Structure 1
Amino acid sequence: MIKARVTVTLKNGVLDPQGKAIEGALDALGFNGVGSVRQGKVFDLELDTADKAQAEIEINAMCEKLLANTVIENYQVEII
């Protein structure tokens, strides 16, 4: 079994209203000095295979087709 973590974040230059809202809320709660917040998402996957190379190919296909909107998001795959 292969376990992987996929982290999806907005590309630089893409507006992040949720990140801005979190940044404002942190400031309102007294957490001063937070310069910028960017929001993202994390997917933990388990694949029923022992072939690491094949798992990476499949996970990248999952990201391209469903997990990430590659027009505005980047993704990173980590085998864990």
Structure 2
Amino acid sequence: MNRTVEPNARVSIDLDWDKLLELMQSGALCGADIHVSDPESKALIQQACLKSCVQKVCTGCDMSDLCGVESCPSGQPMGKQVVTTHPFNL
């Protein structure tokens, strides 16, 4: 079937969580490129984004196992830390 695809054509798909994470970690897919309409999918995509980002940003950080606490154990002011969330258009 050979048909012309319109510019900016949209595709709706279901994707396994592991495949989503694999694509995001490899850089083949970015959360900013994904648009969802239901809160459950949005939460899963945000988790995949954060997990992917942590792998890239926190690799080699001596304090990465302590993330999630209210203050940075490295002594860095909270405003100086790398933020791993992004303003996605989800």
TM-score higher than 0.5: no
Query: What is the TM-score with the length of structure 1 in the denominator?
Result: 0.29
TM-score when scaled to structure 2? 0.27
Say which structure is richer in strand: 1
Whose Rg is larger?
2
Higher normalized helix content (fraction of residues): 2
